[in-house]
Amino acid sequence: MAPSKTSMFRSADMSMVQLYISNEIGREVVNALGELGLVQFRDLNGDTSAFQRTFTQEIRRLDNVERQLRYFYGQMEKANIPLRKMDLDVDSLAPPTTNEIDELADRSQGLETRVHDLNESYETLKRREVELTEWRWVLREAGGFFDRAHGNVEEIRASTEDDDAPLLQDVEQHHSAPDVERSFSGMNIGFVAGVISRDRVAAFERILWRTLRGNLYMNQSEIPDALVDPTTNEAVNKNVFVIFAHGKEILAKIRKISESMGAEIYNVDENSDLRRDQIHEVNARLNDVQNVLRNTQQTLEAELTQIGQSLSAWMVLITKEKAAYQTLNLFSFDRQRRTLIAEGWCPTNDLALIRTTLQDVTNRAGLSVPSIINEIRTNKTPPTYLKTNKFTEAFQTIINAYGTATYQEVNPALPAIVTFPFLFAVMFGDLGHAIIMLCASLAMIYWERPLKKVTFELFAMIYYGRYIALVMAIFSVYTGLMYNDAFSKSLTLFDSQWEWKVPDGWKEGQALTGQLKSSYRYPFGLDWRWHGTENDLLFTNSYKMKMSIILGWAHMTYSLCFSYLNARHFKKPIDIWGNFIPGMIFFQSIFGYLVVCIIYKWSVDWNAIGKNPPGLLNMLIYMFLQPGELDEELYPGQAPLQVFLLLLAVVQVPILLFLKPFYLRWEHNRARAKGYHGIGENSRVSALDDEDENGHAGANGRPSGESDGGEGVTMIAQDHDDDDEGHGEFEFSEVMIHQVIHTIEFCLNCVSHTASYLRLWALSLAHQQLSVVLWDMTLGGTINKTGVIGVIMIVIGFYLWFFLSCAVLIAMEGCSAMLHSLRLQWVEAQSKYAEFAGHMFTPLSYATMLEEDEGLTDFRG
């Protein structure tokens, strides 16, 4: 574990670097570094607002292009045109050149105008079409009214004009048909015809009735097809109405009311010939409009389809370009504004890679001015960079969900790769369920690529943790074999160590007890003879409880050892002497002792020596309550040893409490006495290869004297994002309080955390009992039925059992076991050593950016 090598054990070494880049290639450099994804840039213009920065203009322009692209997307969605999505794993777009971006901007500008125009004319045409359609309906419907009305016109006339006309005249009048055509105007009855939306009809009618005091005759009919309003794109049901009324003023009033109610009024001729002509004309125009409309739509669709082919790629390009300019905005200029200066964190191991990338970009651009990368020394806390791969990613994520490890402290994810799934398996242990889970996780890994595209959230989550599931399943297979449980049944892999002691005259139904066969012991896992016995739980509970304590003790001891490694790595010997050693002694003298006792008690054949085995729980309790006294002895010399251990543990408490704070105070006072003062509150930085101080060029090989007239010695922007405040003054009271809290917490946690591991027993008991119950309630109850009913019942029973097994025992129980194991990892283990005071390394990386950008969700394949 060489410290310089990147491994999962600690977060990577980070360096603060300064980059001097010629102004012309700033964009290219940022693009190259963005593809590389290894540099986290610092903001050097913290005091300038977003609007005052250098490249705001470019970003605005790109924002506009992005808006246009989104507009196209909106149009495409409206027209139901499929979008060719970007598969980021397959196609990786090279960073665009400035020309390409300009071209793209122009093109999208042109396309926007075109699409906009097309849309506008389409809308106008559509409106025209709707109008014509409405008119046609009015003509048709109103014509119907007229035809019906004309049949009765004489009656109307007779009743209005000629009160005493003879009834017979009616017959004669019918023969003089031409007269009929002019009849309405002759009667001074006018009419208004139009269209109104159906839900307004009632109100419309009421208003008309009230304002005209009933002096109207209204006729209406429904248009069977809904008409689409082109502006809102909503289908509206409408009615045709024809209102007959007497007198010009009233008609004008009707018109006004109709307009205010949102009705469309159409001109309908009373004369049926004219009306026929009108209908013909309307039909012809409607045809024309429809033709033009179809053409327009086809053109628009063709245009959008073509855009759809490359829209995603454009979107990606624009997003990258915008990120590049946003990054450039973080940079600073030198005095002549010829060189860009950037600062950022990068992994020390990748410095060479970054340097060659810079070199490549400079060479490609054919610039004579080299780009310079300069490592600088700083007392700022570097970000935590934990490199992951496909397998470790999910494990790292569950640790990061709790917090970000301090820079270079032991990464809790490394042991968690095993301990987290293993503790899960201790709770989940069932061979059958484990194999189903194993198959599922293997399937997810085998079909990794196709399944990656599934966007269903719940599945995506399980898919993300597929490697965790795999390790969990493998360990569950093992623990299932250990517990000898497969779907609540047992396997008889080896000979049992028990045989039944059958007394003479034994009959079926009488109780039998087992006896040991010989010195042979069941070699692997739990003896199957225990399965289904009356005192099965008595035995397994004791076994599982003790196992929980032993596993918990091992887990916590192991975790506690990491605090030693941390102290050694950070060169804080006082943490070893003042925290680790007393803590370890305290923990071991109580719980280490308990574990030793458990194992010792197992190793003694109590029946052979004819003694009563003492209860360990009481032993531990009375070790505190009445030290020096014992009810039953576990081994000779137990009482004095326990008193000694108790004293040893008690003595650790003051050491834990006082050693570290007093040592720190002594160290501080000594430094003061020698005349040293605390480092200034501000972060102070000096270039690594400052020639004034060292007199020799650093290993970085910084070319001499290009553009660094005194620049680069100090960091630009000293006081932004200061994350390490409070480093300044030493305050004894603070340290003391901190240590008191730590001591109390540690001592209490030793007890409560050990108890907390009993959840391993509780959950595995619950899982096992639940699967027994499920078996008995479903398949177990049907399996001895015979005949046709038996067959049906077994089939039903099986499906019930199988699906409930999957849903309840694997999914739900698995989830609960996982949460408990997560807690053991987060709280019980990590509290022993991890500080979690780091901040995450977030490099400029196009790959992650494209993957995580919310705005790109629609464009990703």
The footprint of another protein (CB under 8 A) covers: 1, 5-9, 387, 389, 392, 414-415, 417-419, 422, 426, 475, 478-479, 482, 497-500, 502, 506, 508-516, 519-527, 529-530, 532-536, 538-539, 542-543, 546-547, 550-551, 554, 599, 602-608, 613
| CA–CA dist 446, 439 (Å, integer) | 10
| CA–CA dist 465, 390 (Å, integer) | 10
Contacts of 106 (CB under 8 A, 6+ apart): none
Closer to another protein by Cβ: residue 400 or 579:
400
Q: 119-145 b/e with 16+ CB inside 10 Å = b?
A: beebeebbebbbbbbbbbbbbebbbeb
Closer to another protein by Cβ: residue 538 or 815:
538
How many Cα atoms are found within 13 Å in the side-chain-facing hemisphere of 304?
25
CA proximity to 286, closest of 143, 145, 142, 139 = 139
Q: How far is the CB of 305 from another protein (least distance, A)?
A: 46
How many Cα atoms are found within 13 Å in the side-chain-facing hemisphere of 692?
6
The continuous run of DSSP H or E covering 17 comes out as: strand 14-22
| CA–CA dist 738, 744 (Å, integer) | 10
Closer to another protein by Cβ: residue 411 or 707:
411
Closer to another protein by Cβ: residue 58 or 828:
828
Q: How far is the CB of 495 from another protein (least distance, A)?
A: 8
Closer to another protein by Cβ: residue 351 or 808:
351
**CA 773, 779, 780, 785 torsion-angle sign:** positive
Give the three-state DSSP class for 330. Answer: coil
Q: How far is the CB of 19 from another protein (least distance, A)?
A: 26
Tokens at 210, concatenated: 């009230």
C-alpha to C-alpha distances, 60 to 54, 55, 861, nearest whole angstrom: 12, 9, 27
Closer to another protein by Cβ: residue 613 or 855:
613
Q: How far is the CB of 579 from another protein (least distance, A)?
A: 24
**CA 33, 36, 39, 40 torsion-angle sign:** positive
The 3-state secondary structure of 181-202, one letter per residue: HCHHHHCCEEEEEEEEEHHHHH
E-strand ranges in 628-750 read 685-687
Closer to another protein by Cβ: residue 8 or 440:
8
Q: Which one-letter amino acid corresponds to residue 229?
A: D
Q: How far is the CB of 527 from another protein (least distance, A)?
A: 6
Closer to another protein by Cβ: residue 509 or 710:
509
Q: How far is the CB of 463 from another protein (least distance, A)?
A: 22
Q: How far is the CB of 534 from another protein (least distance, A)?
A: 5
Closer to another protein by Cβ: residue 9 or 802:
9
Q: How far is the CB of 556 from another protein (least distance, A)?
A: 13
Q: How far is the CB of 103 from another protein (least distance, A)?
A: 41
Q: Which one-letter amino acid corresponds to residue 134?
A: E
Closer to another protein by Cβ: residue 6 or 237:
6
By the 10 Å C-beta count (0-12 exposed, 13-18 middle, 19+ buried), 255 is classed as middle
Tokens at 494, concatenated: 């080896």
User: By the 8 A CB rule, do 707 and 340 touch?
Assistant: no
Tokens at 196, concatenated: 């109104």
| CA–CA dist 353, 367 (Å, integer) | 20
C-alpha to C-alpha distances, 711 to 333, 335, 374, 639, 686, nearest whole angstrom: 11, 10, 12, 73, 11
User: By the 8 A CB rule, do 747 and 653 touch?
Assistant: yes
Closer to another protein by Cβ: residue 140 or 531:
531
CA proximity to 833, closest of 572, 657, 499, 639 = 572
Q: Report the chain's terminal Cα–Cα distance, integer Å.
A: 41
| CA–CA dist 232, 225 (Å, integer) | 17
Q: How far is the CB of 471 from another protein (least distance, A)?
A: 9
Count of residues for the chain? 861
Q: How far is the CB of 535 from another protein (least distance, A)?
A: 5
Closer to another protein by Cβ: residue 418 or 811:
418
Q: How far is the CB of 830 from another protein (least distance, A)?
A: 15
| CA–CA dist 154, 141 (Å, integer) | 22
Closer to another protein by Cβ: residue 19 or 473:
473
Q: How far is the CB of 1 from another protein (least distance, A)?
A: 6
Q: How far is the CB of 511 from another protein (least distance, A)?
A: 4
Q: How far is the CB of 479 from another protein (least distance, A)?
A: 7
Closer to another protein by Cβ: residue 606 or 676:
606
Closer to another protein by Cβ: residue 26 or 480:
480
Contacts of 514 (CB under 8 A, 6+ apart): 498, 499, 500, 501, 529, 533
| CA–CA dist 564, 473 (Å, integer) | 32
Q: How far is the CB of 321 from another protein (least distance, A)?
A: 33
Closer to another protein by Cβ: residue 202 or 608:
608
